[in-house]
Amino acid sequence: MSIRILIVGTGMMAHHHTEAFEAMEDVEVVGGVDRDADTLSEFCRQHGLSQSFTSVEAAVAWGQFDAASNVTPDRVHHATTLPLLDARKHVLCEKPLATNHGDARDMVVRAEDAGVINMVNLTYRRSGALTTASELIRDGAIGEVRHFEASYLQDWLNLPGWSEEPFFLWRLSTAHGSTGTLGDLGVHILDYATFAAGASPASISCRLATFEKAPGRSVGDYVFDANDSFTMHLQLDNGATGVIHSSRFASGHHNDLLLSLHGTRGALQVSDIDGREQLRGCLGNDVGSRTWADIPFRPAPTNFEKFVAAIRSGRSGEPDFARGADLQKVLDLAVQSSDQACRSIDVAT
């Protein structure tokens, strides 16, 4: 039987969701929801959707869908997901799951109560290189993980034109719902690194940085107060220690994730450079000669494919809301750590 999907929030990323679902067999996008009537009608026209709603509640009252993809801005994920869960609809929600751990946990509990499939769109789980790295580490290929370094680098704040695009501007302004680089990119790279390492953060410290980008630190009503870069130090619950950092000022990097993991018996490097994946290892007998070699990997399913497969099988799909909430807790603590300038020692004193 065909699975009927509702798209909630019909902005930029919603086109990608819709195209991904429409490309699957026996999956049908049946309608769109957006509070902005112009965006909604243009989206429905482009994708040939006959059902459109200006609120989730109106769509739920109509009810003729099995699942929803929530592609609204971060700060409305919580409010727009709850009515869907209460109506027992399966939900794939964009990342970050919420903007604070309390809301994220609320979504986990409500999804469990509803007994529906719940997933968060941590895009880079689609990486075959990442999946193979996590399997190799789980199987002991590098021994005990001791050290890791991970980064997610973008460069758009160094390129002309960003200050004229609302697409970029809202990402710099907390009043427009941004949690900065930490919430936007940090959630991806935190998931990427800890998924591969097969361990969870046990303790963290973090520094957020916000740089001057325009006279008066604003353009129109977009006040540039969200963080542009962060540097985080983590201890994982398997004893490994490492660093994660991210920036929108990383010249030479359009959209690049890089991860190195070092263990007692070898090392892996996994990367996603503008969508080009690579997995390399220094393993076994090659450790002594410090020889690195490419490791083959199979493509992994996208979150859209996993979501549909989970609905069909009735078995929960990964990454789920609980994973999204765990990551959100780390993001909250990172802000707290930065605000408290934890154990910062001024070099000049």
Interface residue list for ligand NAD (CB under 6 A) = 8-14, 33-36, 39, 71-74, 76, 80, 94-95, 121, 123
For residue 94, list its beta bridge partners.
121
d(CA 193, CA 244): 8
Closer Cβ to ligand NAD, 170 or 292, answer by number: 170
Question: Closest CB to ligand NAD among 184 and 326?
Answer: 184
Q: From CA 144, how far away is CA 239, in angstroms rounded?
A: 9
Shortest CB 200 distance to ligand NAD, Å: 21
Which is closer to ligand NAD, CB of 98 or CB of 244? 98
| Nearest CB to ligand NAD, comparing residues 71 and 145 | 71
Collapsed DSSP state (helix, strand, coil) of residue 89: coil
Residue with Cβ nearer ligand NAD (93 or 136): 93
- For the bound state, the minimum distance from the C-beta of residue 121 to ligand NAD, rounded and expressed in Å, comes to 5
Structure tokens at 80: 């727009």
To ligand NAD, the closest distance from the beta carbon of 139 in angstroms equals 29
What is the DSSP annotation of 153-164?
E--GGGSTTGGG
H or E element: which one contains 293? strand 293-294
Residue 281: which H helix or E strand, with range? strand 276-283
Compute the least distance from the CB of residue 19 to ligand NAD, in Å: 13
Of residues 278, 100, 259, the one with CA closest to residue 188: 259
* Residue with smaller CB distance to ligand NAD, 86 or 144: 86
| 3-class SS of residue 36 | coil
Q: Residue 274: left (phi > 0), alpha (psi -120 to 50), or beta?
A: left
Q: What is the distance between the alpha carbons of residues 3 and 5, in angstroms, rounded to a whole number?
A: 6
Report helix, strand or coil for 266. Answer: strand
For the bound state, the minimum distance from the C-beta of residue 41 to ligand NAD, rounded and expressed in Å, comes to 12
State the minimum distance, in angstroms, from the CB of residue 100 to ligand NAD: 14
Residue 58: what are its φ and ψ, rounded to 5°?
-65, -40
Based on CB atoms, which residue is closest to ligand NAD, 71 or 157? 71
Phi and psi at residue 206, to the nearest 5°? -150, 145
When the beta carbons of 95 and 110 are compared against ligand NAD, the nearer one is: 95
Question: Rounded to whole angstroms, what are the CA distances from 187 to 101, 103, 171, 250, 325?
Answer: 13, 16, 14, 18, 11
Q: Kindly state the smallest distance separating residue 14's Cβ from ligand NAD, in Å.
A: 6
Q: How far apart are the first and last CA of the chain?
A: 69
CB of 283 to ligand NAD, least distance (A): 31
Between residues 71 and 282, which has the closer beta carbon with respect to ligand NAD? 71
Q: CA–CA separation, 331 vs 206, rounded Å?
A: 9
Distance of alpha carbon 117 from alpha carbon 183, whole angstroms: 24
* Closest distance of CB 315 from ligand NAD, Å: 23
